[in-house]
A = this chain, B = another copy of it.
């Protein structure tokens, strides 16, 4: 009874094959693993039987025995996110190529939930963790303790100085610099910047790029042109954005262009500007970070800073797998920032 009830599924096990072929379990195992200890004849028989009966090793048992599960945990703030979806695609592609499964979990931007995800992944025996930290997350001590316990961790997308490991992201500073420079070259002088209210690397780096471009162009940075929006939920974000736009437009020295820092902010800002009746780019120009395929089709076509999301995912996964597969050697951790690309479109057509 019990031994049948508790079977994971009806799949054949080594024991089944052993019984059927009148051999021992270890012989079966070794045959399937092509051990030198087993004769060719026996191997042949075993392999044949195994294929005929669709034997596939139980990953749980194998994982338990070997101390690894050939699975990678991925923690992101949300699945429903353009850029992240592309990164996940990249991660999955590389993982699949190396026969790793990925287990994706959502932090929903909550530090607490993120910790729960990591905890679950860890106890689930993942071989490593890929993480794009929640914007709430300031304390990396938990992750660090796991890392010290031997769990390979790689940061992607959103990076942090608080933990020493491989990190893969976009060159946000340069991207922001280029975007701002693009505006300046197009003749815009009063450039506003809409960012998040977080301390995320992507936020600060983009802000710094913006500032640097201004400085290099001898344009004085006007703090009143920087607005930060609540990133905790969509409702608040929209409200903050609308307030920011109204604020900008009410300024005596109005901005003539906006550089937006994230996907969400960029597209919503465009929507809101349209809704509030402002003409882009005549009333105000707009360029922003976003990876949407629809930039071209927007009203007007939106100039964007495009990041190589798929490639970031790929590289991050490669880095993690390399970490997993040579745990012993001591490695030099590196931070890779992939180039972004400016796609100039109608929303930054230029003055006059």
Q: Which chain B residues lie closer than 8 Å to A297 at the CB level?
A: 267, 270-271, 274, 298-299
A215 contacts B by Cβ under 8 Å: no
Residues of chain B with a CB closer than 8 A to A96's CB: 105-106
Give the distance to chain B from A13, nearest Cβ to Cβ, in Å: 11
In the complex, how many angstroms separate the beta carbon of A73 from the nearest chain B beta carbon? Answer: 9
Query: Of B64, B82, B92, B310, which one neighbours A106 at CB under 8 angstroms?
Result: B92
**CB distance A10 to B149 under 8 Å?**
yes
- A240 CB to closest chain B CB (Å) equals 17
For A78-118 the 0/1 string (1 means CB < 8 A from B) is 11111001101100110010000111111000000000000
The listed residue (B64, B82, B119) touching A64 by CB distance below 8 A is B64
Do B60 and A124 have beta carbons less than 8 Å apart? yes
By beta carbon, the residue of chain B nearest A124 is B59
**A63→B60 contact, CB < 8 A:** yes
Copies in the complex: 2
A39 within 8 A of B: no
Q: Are A123 and B299 in touch, CB under 8 angstroms?
A: no
A78→B68 contact, CB < 8 A: no
- Smallest Cβ distance from A205 to chain B, in angstroms? 25
Which of A81, A123, A150 has most B Cβ within 10 Å? A123
Task: Collect the chain B residues with CB atoms within 8 Å of residue A60's CB.
Answer: 60-61, 63-64, 69, 124-125
13 new A-B pairs (CB below 8 Å) besides A299-B299, A299-B301? A8-B68, A11-B122, A58-B123, A60-B60, A78-B89, A79-B85, A79-B89, A80-B88, A80-B89, A92-B105, A93-B106, A271-B294, A298-B299
Seen from chain A, the residues whose Cβ lies within 8 Å of a Cβ on chain B are 5-11, 56-61, 63-69, 71, 78-82, 85-86, 88-89, 92-93, 96, 101-106, 119-125, 146, 149-151, 267, 270-271, 274, 292-294, 296-301, 310
CB pairs A–B below 8 angstroms (7 shown): A6-B66, A8-B68, A59-B123, A60-B125, A80-B85, A80-B310, A294-B294
